[in-house]
Amino acid sequence: MEKLQSMEQFELLKNDERTVFMFTAGWCPDCRVIEPFLPIIEVDYPEYTFISVDRDEFIDLCVDLDIFGIPSFIAFNEGKELGRFVSKNRKTQEEIEEFLNSLS
């Protein structure tokens, strides 16, 4: 999964078609739990571009988007928020897939 490099890149990707931002951090144990199946999700949902956002590097963005728990996901399409799966709870592969299926 590609990592977000800058706010300029965030704006470009947000305004693109079907981008899912995953908010994470290196110290987050629940984020490590989902890492093994993220490549499977990326393959199973090729219509989306998945971007990893380090919460600590982009804390202002997280505040602006009301991301107070990780891992969390927000999907955008052409600048509009399609949906969000935001909480401090651990996510399962099935829950993430349910979220992605709800976007269509």
pLDDT tens-digit readout, 43-82: 999 999 999 999 999 999 999 999 989 999 999 999 999 9
- Structure-token match 């981008």, residue found: 19
Which residue of the set 20, 22, 28, 86 is catalytic?
28
Helix (H) or strand (E) holding 100: helix 93-102
Contact 50, 1 (CB under 8 A): yes
Query: Catalytic site residue 28?
Result: yes
Give pLDDT, residue 88: 79
Tokens of 87: 């909480």
pLDDT exceeds cutoff 90 at 35:
yes
Domains and CATH numbers, the chain: 2-102 (3.40.30.10)
Contact 73, 41 (CB under 8 A): no
Contact 11, 53 (CB under 8 A): no
Query: Catalytic site residue 62?
Result: no
